[in-house]
């Protein structure tokens, strides 16, 4: 077991995020029929989280050199944002679905613990990873990756799932503090993401397509778009009775005036990302853990579209959420089946393959001298 986790990176938390998104997306659609199934999916995400937390603890305890190498690697370090988002997503699922099995008090307690832990880890990652990119990693503009968004999106997940804890706090200042705090996290993440998104878009336009294995990460851009739309919808849901009436009405306006155009851009990016993936598949893209990018980002768009449906009353957003959920299910099945196959074969936990060294130039000696 100890040897097996040597190359277990923080990117594995994306599988927890994807499974939790499958449960939360279904709950957002409001369908009563499959609720037992969705609760089972949430329980699976909780089990995944517990297993990975233990495995990553063993990784740090017995393979500290490799763990530190991950922090020094600009391609791996951003995935520490996935730990925060995994904690937050599973916690949100406890209150949205898990309370059916474990009861409301236990669900509130579990969500509270995971929310505090996930928010703390997310804030640290949002500062530490960009700092490392600036002073330790020495990256070039052409190396910009959609994965750089991961630590910056984590506070947005806190902003989106935190409001559901508001009714469980004492009335008055505690509820206001949590709601305003989530709104501050929304602004923090949104502005930081906009700055980083310009680098990512410039890389895609000027640097050519991403390597085949990294192509699914283009879907990660959907994360801040869908999650921010979900967040403003959550603010509008919880603001009445918590903040003064003018501000509550303002949150309701924000849910529509912000959410509608951002969801429009999300659909544009979805089409662009799908085109990149189709191209990559035609060029031989094989399964990699990056396929989990097909899940959580799409799940945020499901919850965002569902929130727009609630606040606009427009049935088109409900059907958009249903269609996106179908895409989420397909992405989860593809990622989960590939992960299971990779675990059974041992390929996913093996050491990364090194590119073969370039052949040395051959020197041929002739009577007139050396010719290369």
The pLDDT tens digits of the residues spanning 98-111 come to: 999 999 999 999 99
Look at the block and give the residue holding tokens 């951003």.
78
pLDDT in tens, 145-188: 999 999 999 999 999 999 999 999 999 999 999 999 999 999 99
The count of domains in the chain is: 1
Residue 171's CATH number:
1.50.10.150
Assigned domain for 248 exists:
yes
Q: Which residues contact 186 (CB under 8 A, 6 or more apart)?
A: 155, 156, 159, 228, 231, 232, 235
> ∠ CA(339), CA(34), CA(89), 5° rounding?
50
Residues composing the chain: 372
- Residue 5 belongs to a domain: no
Is residue 24 pLDDT above 90, yes or no? yes
**Which pTM does this prediction carry?**
0.91
In a domain, 163, yes or no: yes
Domain of 95 in residue numbering reads as 10-343
Q: Are 359 and 368 in contact (CB under 8 A)?
A: no
Classify strands 364-366 and 369-371 as parallel, antiparallel or unpaired: antiparallel
Residue 105 lies in a domain: yes
Instruction: Tell me if 3 is assigned to some domain.
Output: no
Q: ∠298-132-83 over CA atoms, to 5°?
A: 40
Q: Is residue 353 in a domain?
A: no
């Amino acid at each position: 077991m100890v040897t097996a986790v040597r190359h277990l990176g923080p990117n594995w938390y994306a599988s927890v995020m994807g499974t939790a998104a499958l449960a939360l997306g279904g709950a957002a659609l409001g369908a009563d029929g499959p609720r037992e199934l969705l609760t089972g999916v949430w329980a699976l995400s909780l089990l995944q989280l517990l297993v990975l937390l233990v495995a990553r603890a063993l990784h740090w305890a017995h393979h500290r050199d490799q763990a530190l190498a991950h922090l020094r690697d600009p391609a791996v370090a951003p995935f520490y944002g996935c730990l925060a988002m995994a904690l937050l997503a599973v916690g949100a699922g406890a209150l949205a679905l898990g309370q059916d099995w474990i009861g409301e008090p236990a669900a509130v307690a579990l969500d509270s613990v995971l929310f505090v832990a996930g928010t703390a880890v997310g804030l640290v990652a949002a500062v530490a990873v960009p700092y490392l990119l600036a002073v330790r990693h020495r990256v070039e503009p052409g190396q910009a990756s959609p994965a750089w968004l991961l630590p910056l999106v984590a506070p947005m997940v806190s902003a989106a799932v935190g409001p559901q804890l508001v009714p469980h706090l004492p009335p008055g200042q505690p509820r206001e503090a949590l709601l305003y705090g989530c709104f501050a996290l929304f602004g923090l993440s949104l502005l930081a993401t906009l700055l980083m998104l310009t680098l990512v878009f410039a890389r895609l336009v000027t640097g050519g397509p991403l390597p085949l294995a990294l192509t699914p990460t283009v879907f990660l851009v959907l994360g801040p778009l869908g999650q921010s739309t979900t967040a403003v919808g959550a603010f509008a849901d919880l603001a009445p009775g918590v903040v003064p009436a003018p501000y509550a009405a303002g949150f309701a306006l924000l849910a529509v005036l912000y959410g509608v155009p951002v969801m429009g851009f999300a659909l544009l990016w979805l089409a662009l990302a799908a085109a990149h993936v189709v191209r990559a598949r035609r060029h031989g893209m094989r399964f990699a853990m990056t396929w989990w990018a097909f899940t959580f980002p799409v799940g945020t768009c499901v919850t965002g579209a569902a929130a727009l449906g609630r606040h606009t009353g427009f049935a088109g957003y409900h059907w958009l959420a249903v269609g996106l959920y179908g895409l989420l299910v397909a992405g989860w099945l593809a990622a989960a089946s590939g992960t299971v196959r990779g675990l059974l074969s041992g390929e996913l936990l093996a050491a990364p393959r090194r590119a073969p060294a370039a052949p040395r130039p051959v020197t041929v000696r002739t009577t007139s001298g050396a010719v290369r």
